Amino acid sequence: MDVRVHYRSAAGRAVVHEPALLRGVPLEDRVPLSEPHAYRGRRSILTHWFSTTSGLSVWCSSTALMDAAMLLDFDPGIACFQSGVAELHWCYEGRQGVVRPAFFARRLDGRRLIIPHRSPAGPEERVLRQAAAEAGWQISRLQVPEGVLCSSLRSAAHFREAGFGPAPWARRKLLDLFGTPRPMHEGAAASGLGLQAAGHIWHLLWTGALSFDRTLPLLPTSQIWTSTGSDSPEGDL
């Protein structure tokens, strides 16, 4: 099977290469091949997710993909991710096609992920496996948060930007307060940080410094607690 990867170079020029030539190439940092556009009759909602992980806007062709991007942004092990940055064009025994992965991502340990829209099958599975093996990518299943978890992440995501982060001394105070699980609103009141306390706490929940039960709705009355290792000098994650 002949597979070619269409993507943009670091200079933004459209290029085509064999997968083996993309080992170590940071596709997750590259500019998308093209931005999706709304059109008459489109069944999905075109939107984007602003990633605080990378500081980049991630174009999403549906609300489901936006929720998947939110989950990637919430994952402390993800260093960077982007959508629409590459296409896999394949040709085999007179047939040809294109596989457009949902996302490319890089984990903090350096592993690079290719995330397809759905569980691959048939020619698409063979294309993805061949390209991943040659380029050194790890195929990762697309995960879309649903139900209670999705609602909780959406609530915390409103406070994901750095402006909601507490000063170092306030962060230490909040982490100490929640060293023992307690309701969010009680910790906010006890902190002495006034109206800013709630925003700081939600931000720490988003960054993972504070934890919560993901099987229950995340509300001001929810029990939350300090995550293990959250007071490291590297930051909130």
Q: Are residues 154 and 122 in the same domain?
A: no
List pLDDT tens digits, range 132-174: 999 999 999 999 999 999 999 999 999 999 999 999 999 999 9
What's the domain range around 170? 147-226
Residue pair 197/160 in contact (Cβ under 8 Å)? The answer is no
**Has residue 234 been placed in a domain?**
no
Domain count, the chain: 2
Q: Report the distance separating Cα 19 and Cα 9, nearest Å.
A: 14
Residues 93, 156 within the same domain = no
Task: Give a yes or no: residue 55 inside a domain.
Answer: yes
pTM: 0.86
Count other C-beta atoms under 10 Å from residue 97's C-beta.
Answer: 13
160 and 63 co-located in one domain: no
Same domain, 121 and 12: yes
pLDDT at 39 over 70: no
Question: Which tens digit of pLDDT belongs to each residue from 105-119?
Answer: 999 999 999 999 987
CA atoms within 13 A on the CB side of 150: 12
Task: Give the pLDDT of residue 46.
Answer: 61
CATH number at residue 76: 3.40.1350
Under the banding of pLDDT at 50, 70 and 90, the label for residue 42 is very low
Q: Are residues 101 and 126 in the same domain?
A: yes
Task: Give the best-scoring range by mean pLDDT among 48-52, 115-119, 178-182.
Answer: 178-182
233, part of any domain:
no
Q: What is the mean pLDDT of the chain?
A: 90
Model confidence at 220: pLDDT above 90: yes
Whether 130 and 21 share a structural domain = yes
